[in-house]
Amino acid sequence: MVTPIPIKPPADLTQVIAITSGKGGVGKTTVAINLAVSLAALGRTVTLLDADLGLANVDVMLGLKPQKNLLDVLEGTCELDDILLCGPRGVQLVPAASGVGHMAELSEGERAGLLYAFSQLERRTDVMIVDTAAGITSNTLQFCDASHEVIVVVCNDPASVTDAYATIKVLNQRSGRSRFRVLVNECIDDAEAYALFSKLLQVSDRFLDVALDFAGAIPLDSNFRKALKRRAALVESHPNSRASYAFKKLAVVADKWPTPRHASGQLEFFVERMIQADMAGRDVRA
Ligand SMILES: Nc1ncnc2c1ncn2[C@@H]1O[C@H](COP(=O)(O)OP(=O)(O)OP(=O)(O)O)[C@@H](O)[C@H]1O
Ligand SMILES: [Mg+2]
């Protein structure tokens, strides 16, 4: 018998969760896709924003072929609906658009177009997952600054831990963000994951004024390679794998994270915050 998907009424407010790491290749896109699909399986309407402006690969990983992107919406040649791609479990993918990162350079008309586009998404999105690019670039910081929650992905590699620490430090200094969720990827077991988290916590407690929450652990799983070959999300292609269970657990936890309290226009605020973050970044660099 097919288990029906529980449908929750759409929330008024959209939760925006950025996935970042500092170091490249630690599993951000993998986490973004599988968390998005797992939240959709809980009955949430989910949008996945590919914010890796240089090397978009959510679409490649899911075998989707975007013809247009946000730049086309900005230029007024199409509507947001024309660029949305339908992923597994109805996850809506907004393909990456190089150039959209330079928010402060947008004309008034482009800015209004982007605000309008995101306000349209607002009404049908409970959660927006933002997959960011590797490195502590201004684009990535901007997307993190604009999100409600930031998940920092780390794996058991000294460079990953150092870069995660550096990302947390820069985000804290730039925008005063003081709470971060840490997700350990490619771990052998929960004990290894927690030990790694504790190491990061120890250093950050000593040198930074931030709170780190352990978001969970995703085990090293050879099925990811098979899922990638099939251009599928692991939680769909291998639902009974250890890693899929870990993503389902993460989705249940993330689903309970407090939703933002503002009255309306959350995704419009997301755009506004990106513009402000871009301007602040420029001031700092000037
Ligand atoms: N838990 C895991 N077990 C095994 N393989 C994994 C796991 N997580 C990710 N991978 C694999 O690691 C590779 C890199 O993952 P991914 O592209 O998601 O990293 P990324 O952080 O988004 O990289 P980039 O910084 O280039 O954007 C992929 O081949 C993916 O299938
Ligand atoms: Mg990636």
pTM (predicted TM-score): 0.90
Ligand 1 centre to CA of 269 (Å) is 30
Give the model confidence (pLDDT) of 160-172 as tens digits. Answer: 999 999 999 999 9
Name 144's Cβ contacts closer than 8 Å, sequence gap at least 6: 18, 20, 132, 150, 167, 171, 177
Give the model confidence (pLDDT) of 18-28 as tens digits. Answer: 999 999 999 99
Residue 40 to residue 46: CA distance in whole angstroms = 6
Q: How far is CA 182 from CA 20, 215, 252, 261, in A?
A: 10, 5, 16, 23
Nearest CA to ligand 1 atom 15: 27
Nearest CA to ligand 1 atom 16: 27
Residue 193 to residue 191: CA distance in whole angstroms = 5
Ligand 2 centre to CA of 132 (Å) is 7
Ligand 1 centre to CA of 116 (Å) is 33
Q: Tell whether the model's pLDDT for residue 100 goes beyond 80.
A: no
The chain-wide mean pLDDT, for the chain, equals 86
Ligand 1 centre to CA of 27 (Å) is 3
Residues 77-81 have a mean pLDDT of: 85
Longest dimension (CA), the chain: 62
Q: Can you tell me whether residue 20 is helix, strand or coil?
A: strand
Ligand 1 centre to CA of 106 (Å) is 33
Residue 102 to residue 255: CA distance in whole angstroms = 31
Atom from ligand 1 closest to the CA of residue 224: 31
Atom from ligand 1 closest to the CA of residue 186: 1
Residue 117 to residue 19: CA distance in whole angstroms = 22
Residues 69-86 have a mean pLDDT of: 84
Nearest CA to ligand 1 atom 10: 27
Query: Which residues have a beta carbon within 5 Å of ligand 2, which is an ion?
Result: 28-29
Residue 125 to residue 25: CA distance in whole angstroms = 28
Residue 279 to residue 286: CA distance in whole angstroms = 10
Q: Tell whether the model's pLDDT for residue 75 goes beyond 70.
A: yes
Q: Where are the alpha helices (DSSP H) in the chain?
A: 28-41, 58-61, 70-74, 80-83, 108-122, 138-146, 158-175, 190-207, 223-229, 234-237, 242-254, 266-285
SS (H, E, C) 156-175: CCHHHHHHHHHHHHHHHHHH
Give the model confidence (pLDDT) of 229-285 as tens digits. Answer: 999 999 999 999 999 999 999 999 999 998 776 544 567 777 777 777 777 655 444
105 confidence band (pLDDT: 50, 70, 90) = low
Ligand 1 pocket, mutate which of 29, 129, 185, 242 (most atoms under 8 A from CB) = 29
Ligand 1: which residues within 6 Å by Cβ? 21, 24-30, 52, 134, 185-186, 218, 220-221, 224, 228, 243
Q: Which of 60-64, 93-97, 112-116, 243-247 has the highest mean pLDDT?
A: 243-247
Q: Can you tell me whether residue 146 is helix, strand or coil?
A: helix
Give the model confidence (pLDDT) of 30-56 as tens digits. Answer: 999 999 999 999 999 999 999 887 776
Bridge partners (DSSP) of residue 47 are 92, 128
Structure tokens that stand for 24 in this block: 């490249």
